[in-house]
Amino acid sequence: MCVPITLHLPFTPSPDVAAVINALLDIYERRDPQRPIRRAIRVHLSLLDLPGYNSQLDPAPRQTTNEQLGKMAAHGLVHLLWLPGEEGHLLEAVTLVPEHAPDLFPWLEREPLAAQRAVLRELLLGDRFRFAAEDWRRLAIDRTLSQLRAGKSPAPFILADPNFNRHLLAAMIALDQIEEETPYRVFSVRVFNDSKLFERLKGALATLSRRHAYRHLTPNEALRELGLVANPTHVYLYGPWRLVDPAGQVTSLANFYPAVGIPALMAARTSRVSVDTTSARRIVCVENLASFYELIRHEGDGLAALCLWGNPAPPVRHVLRCLTETLPPDVPLQVWADLDYGGLNILAQLRKLVSPRFVPFRMDIATLEAHARWAKPLTLNDRRLLERVQGYPILADLQPLITHMLARGLKLEQEGFQFQ
């Protein structure tokens, strides 16, 4: 029968003793609780970070550690192994007596892993009902619950930090309140009354949303899909664009040069978009801002252009959807993006989410070969990603290019294009 150790170990563990016992408990909790313990739960002190125990200047921390571990050994909680010829002076290893492990958790004020899992499970089950079955947040919760049942990591939830988990779940629930682009700090104040708290959560929120809804996006792009941005953004336009708001007010952008950035909130609220096709014979959507301005500088005549800023955000897609409703079918709607997975994915997303009429511009084998000296070699990850889009029906016309890129082992950024 195990006697409660709090009756016999009234001392507070030293930092080094706490490190040793925590390391032992880490091993104890990693084992399969359904199987008998076959190997000793042991840590070698040489493998731990014990600055006090290893100090060459002050012997007191080592003496305290030896004394405290000696008392624990006397109570049958651990077994000590001393270095040859250094008994009572230098420890080689400490072995945990498994039967007493449960008593060591409260002594160290450490929550057992099983209890931490139970707390997180109850938290998630308590709010799971809020989300529809097809909602990515419901999928994220269900996957986390499955991980808990299997004894696996629930990351990005943190077992040892219940407050973090509560805040992350609160942020997920609060996404329903977002109706327009919202800066991180504003969202943080609205949800937590703390402008900085969301900063700690945004990486985990991005991970969950990318895992279950926005796999093809970067973390910042995924948050942008949720309506969250670092700062208010703008949509950059060049040429004879004409925007009409719900009240019927018309904004003409024809006289702005080299371009104008309209607030994303204004773009999202636009009810009608058109381009004067008598002066703009084509529309080009450009992935990067630098190339957007270079295109205007070199080929601005007869052109209307829009900067996508990578994968197009919801306000950009809204503007383009409105445009496709008014654009004559004989006016080209082009996309100029990097010759890599990211650029191809942008074209695929525009075709899927906006209109199938988008066509590639300077995204071909001839452009790649003409600028091969400025191209970069494909990494293993580049190849894996290109192979992912190889065979996409929505990119059927780009399959020869993808095959050629893989064969040549090259990719080309927009900035590598040389205007004549």
Q: Report the CATH number that the domain containing residue 393 is assigned in CATH.
A: 3.40.1360.10
pLDDT for residue 414 is more than 90: yes
pLDDT of 33: 66
pLDDT of 2: 43
Residues 6+ apart with CB under 8 A from 68: 11, 13, 14, 17
Residues 146 and 264 in one domain: no
Residues 321 and 367 in one domain: yes
Buried/exposed 42-73: b ≥16 CB within 10 Å, e otherwise: bbebeeeebebbeeeeeeebbebbbebbebbe
The rounded distance, in Å, linking the Cα atoms of 114 and 354 is 48
pLDDT of 26: 85
Residue 358 neighbours by CB distance under 10 Å: 22
- What does the pLDDT average to over 116-127? 95
Q: What is the pLDDT of residues 143-187, one digit of tens each?
A: 999 999 988 889 999 888 899 999 999 999 999 999 999 999 999
Residues 259 and 358 in one domain: yes
Q: How confident is the model at residue 8 (pLDDT cuts 50, 70, 90)?
A: low
pLDDT for residue 330 is more than 50: yes
pLDDT for residue 257 is more than 80: yes
- What does the pLDDT average to over 180-209? 96
What is the sign, positive or negative, of the torsion defined by CA atoms of 297, 302, 304, 308?
negative
Report how many domains make up the chain.
3
- What does the pLDDT average to over 309-338? 96
Whether residue 214 contacts residue 221, with contact meaning beta carbons closer than 8 Å, is answered with yes
Residues 155 and 254 in one domain: no
- What does the pLDDT average to over 105-122? 89
How would you list the strands of the sheet with 91-96, edge to edge?
41-44, 91-96, 78-82
Looking at 107, 124, 153, which one is the last position of a domain? Answer: 107
Residues 216 and 323 in one domain: no
pLDDT of 232: 94
- Give the residue numbers spanning the domain of 253: 234-416
- What does the pLDDT average to over 285-308? 96
The residue type of 377 is P
pLDDT of 78: 93
Q: How confident is the model at residue 34 (pLDDT cuts 50, 70, 90)?
A: low
- What does the pLDDT average to over 200-221? 95
Q: What is the pTM of this model?
A: 0.77
Residues 410 and 263 in one domain: yes
Q: What is the pLDDT of residues 353-391, one digit of tens each?
A: 999 999 999 999 999 999 999 999 999 999 999 999 998
Q: What is the pLDDT of residues 231-255, one digit of tens each?
A: 999 999 999 999 999 999 999 999 9
pLDDT for residue 292 is more than 50: yes
Residues 308 and 325 in one domain: yes
Residues 102 and 135 in one domain: no
pLDDT for residue 307 is more than 70: yes
Looking at 177, 210, 229, which one is the last position of a domain? Answer: 229
Residues 166 and 95 in one domain: no
Whether residue 252 contacts residue 262, with contact meaning beta carbons closer than 8 Å, is answered with no
Residues 264 and 412 in one domain: yes
Residues 151 and 266 in one domain: no
Strand partners for 261:
236
pLDDT of 238: 98
- What does the pLDDT average to over 31-40? 73
- What does the pLDDT average to over 342-349? 96
Looking at 107, 124, 145, which one is the last position of a domain? Answer: 107
Please provide the average confidence, as pLDDT, over all residues in the chain.
93
Residues 14 and 80 in one domain: yes
- What does the pLDDT average to over 5-13? 68
